[in-house]
Structure 1
Amino acid sequence: MPIDAAKALAAQPRTGEISWGAKDVLLYHLGIGAGVPATDPRELRYTLESRLHVLPSFATVAGAGSPGVIGGLSMPGVEVDLARVLHGGQSLTLHRPLPVEGTATSTGRIAAVYDKGKAAVLVMRTEVADADGPLWTNDAQIYVRGEGGWGGDRGPSTRREPPAGEPDLVVERPLREDQALLYRLSGDWNPLHADPGFAERAGFERPILHGLCTYGITLKAVVDTLLDGDVTRVRAYATRFAGVVYPGETLRIRMWRGRGGEGGGGGEVAAAEVRVAVSALERDDAPVLADTVVGHR
C-alpha cells in the first residue's frame, strides 16, 4: 500500500532551521494580491519595508515553506502520485505575532492518517519556535485520492453548521491571470498550479490557484475590514478547501462577526471569531473555502 499509516505515524519528526526576511514577506503579500491601489496607505503596510506588518498566513510559506503538502508526501510510509493529491484543509495557531525577519526551528511530522474510503487524509503538523519560544503551529490536511479503504479511522468531521443570518460584510477580490505564477515563488512549486499538461492529467481544465493563496487572500480581507487592519489581533485561522479557484476569477468573501454565541452550536458565531465563506463569482458562487474561522482578540 503506498501509504503505510503505522510507519508514517511512527516516523521521527523532521527538524530544521528556517529563516526569512522582509523580501520574503513582501513577495508573499504581492502573491496574495496586496498593493492595489499601490499608493494606498493601508496597502503600504504590506508592500513597503519601512511600514511592514506580517499577515499571519505568511507562516504557511516562511522559510520557503514549512513541510506542508509537498513535505508531507516525502515522509516515511508515504509514496503517492502527486497528481492524486489535493490540499484538503489548513489550520494555523499563532503563539505570537510574526516578526518581519527571523530564524527559527521547524519540526514537522505526520500527526494523523485517516481513511475516508475513497481517499486517505494525512495531517501534516509543523511546529515552529525561535529563541524566545513557540511562534506558530500549522496543520495541513492532505487529501490523497484513491488511497483509502484499508479500514482505518475515518477521523473527526471538520464540517460546521453554517452561520445564521445574512453576512455582516461581503467583499469581492479579483484575481490576476498570473496569480498562481506569482504566488508559487514563495515556495510551492507543485506543477498543478503552472503546467497545463499536468493539470489536465490531474483532472482540471487548466492550472488551478493554490489553496493557500486563496487562504491568504481571505485572511487579508478579514483583517483589512473587520479587524481594523491589525494583523496582531489574529490568534488562529482554519479552513476547509471546498473547491478549486482558477486564476483570473473573482472571489466573493462573506463574513459574519462574532455575536456572543458559543460557536458551532446552531450556527452561532463565537464573540472572538469571524466566520467566513468564499465562492467563485463567475461560476455561480461555487464554494471555494468552507468552515472557515478566524479567531481573534
Structure 2
Amino acid sequence: MEVTSSYAGSSSRPLEREVTWRHAMNFAASVQDHNPWYFDDEREDGIVAPPMLAVALTWPFGESASTYWDEKKFPLDLLVRQVHYTEQIVFDRPLRPGDKLTITADLPMILPHRAGTYMIIRCTARDQKGDRVFIEYAGTLLRGVKCTDKGTTVEAPPETPRFRGDNGPLWENVTHLGPMAAHIYDGCADIHNPIHTSQRFAKWVGLPGIIVHGSCTLSVALRDIVNREANGDPRRVKRLGCRFTGMVLPDTDITVRALGRTSGEDTDWAHFEVLNGDKRRAISDGFVEFARG
C-alpha cells in the first residue's frame, strides 16, 4: 500500500462537541482516577474535566472520518492501518462541563517512516467566544503504507523534550489493568476501535489479541503524575506528550516511572515512562508541563 504527502495541508469540516459532567466523570472513573477535581460537584466552582478528555472529544475525526474529511483531502481507505504513535496536547485553559467547542482538524505533516508513513493530525478546539481551549497533535503511524515521496511539513508540532537522566526513577507506581480494562475505557471514554474490544479483529490486523488503548495508558500515567507532582491539581497542566512504543495487554500491570524534574521560566516539567507487564517501555519520552503552583 502506498500514499503521497500531497494530503499535507488539508483541513476538515468542523466538529461540534460539548463537555458534559457525565463524560468527564466516566472518563476519570475508567482509569481509576478518584481526584476530587473530577467528582466533587459541590465545589463552589464545580468540577473540571480530566485533561486527557481532549482525545475523546477529537476522536470522531478518526472514528467517523468520512463525515469530517473529504476523500480527496484525506487517505480514508488507509485508516485501517493506523496506530497511535505519538501524542501531544497544549492547553490554554482547563476543560469544564458546559464547554461548547468547535473543533477543526488539519494535516500539518506527513513523512516517510521506517515502519510506514507518519502523519500528524492537528485538532484545534475553540469555545463559543472563539477563544482557543486546546490544540492536540495526534501522531498516527500508517503501518506498512509506503510514503512514495520525501514527505511534506506545512508546520511542525512543538518540539518535545527528552529527559536523559541516569540516576533511576524518583518514584514509581504500579497499576493493575483488569481483564475488562479496554472495554471499560472504550465505553466510558467513548473511544471505540475494535482492536481494543474484539479478539477477532485485533488478530485480523496482526495483533496478538485485544490491546489497551494508548490513551488509556497515558491517562493512568497522567493521573499519577498530577497526584504526585502537581499536588493533585489538574488545572496546572499546560502541555503533555509522549511516544507510544509498546503494547499493553488487559489483565496485566503497568508501571509509571517518574524519571526527573526540570524547570523553565514559569513552568515545571515532569518526565516519565511507562513499562508494560513484560517490563518493556509502553510509553517513552513522556512529559507533563505544569504552571508553577
TM range (shorter): 0.7 to 0.9
Contact 1:235 1:294 survives alignment (8 Å): yes
| Partner residue, 1:215 | 218
Range with bigger deviation, 250-259 or 286-295 = 250-259
Identify if the C-alpha distance between structure 1 residues 74 and 187 changes in structure 2 by more than 3 Å, giving closer, same or farther: farther
1:273 aligned residue: 269
2:53 alignment counterpart = 58
In the other structure, the counterpart of 2:234 is 231
Q: For 1:203, what is the secondary structure of its paired residue?
A: coil
By how many angstroms is 1:161 displaced?
5.2
| CA deviation after TM superposition for structure 1 residue 168, in Å | 1.3
Of the candidates 251, 256, 280, which is equivalent to residue 286 of structure 1?
280
Q: Which amino acid aligns with 2:49?
A: V
Identity over aligned pairs, percent:
20
- The aligned residue for residue 5 of structure 2 is 5
Q: Judge conservation of contact 1:69–1:142 (CA < 8 Å) in 2.
A: no
Amino acid at match of 1:277: E
**Alpha carbons 2:9, 2:106 under 8 Å: kept:** no
Give the superposition deviation at 1:82. Answer: 4.5
Over 3 Å counting, the alpha-carbon distance change for 1:234 and 1:260 in structure 2 is closer
Task: Give the C-alpha shift of residue 61 in structure 1.
Answer: 0.9
User: Is the contact made by 1:170 and 1:255 (CA closer than 8 Å) also made in structure 2?
Assistant: yes
Distance 1:48 1:294 in 2: 24
**Cα–Cα, structure 1 residues 275 and 215, in superposed 2: closer, same or farther, change >3 Å?**
same
Q: Is the 8 A contact 1:278 1:290 kept in 2?
A: yes
Match of 2:52, SS state, is helix
Q: How many residues align?
A: 279
Unmatched runs of 5 consecutive residues or more in structure 1: 36-42, 263-269
Post-superposition shift, 1:85? Answer: 1.9
For the residue of structure 1 that corresponds to 2:209, the secondary structure is coil
| Residue 140 (structure 2) aligns with | 142
SS of the residue corresponding to residue 228 of structure 1 reads coil
- CA, structure 1 residues 202+146, in 2 after alignment: closer, same or farther (shift >3 Å)? same
In 2, are the aligned partners of 1:66 and 1:106 still within 8 Å (CA)? no
Question: Which secondary structure does the structure 2 equivalent of 1:160 belong to?
Answer: coil
What CA distance in whole angstroms lies between the structure 2 residues aligned with 1:10 and 1:154? 9
Question: 2:19 maps to which residue?
Answer: 20
- What is the CA distance between 1:295 and its match in structure 2? 0.7
- Aligned match for 1:128, one of 112, 125, 128: 125
> Under a length normalisation based on structure 2, what TM-score does the superposition of the two structures give?
0.85
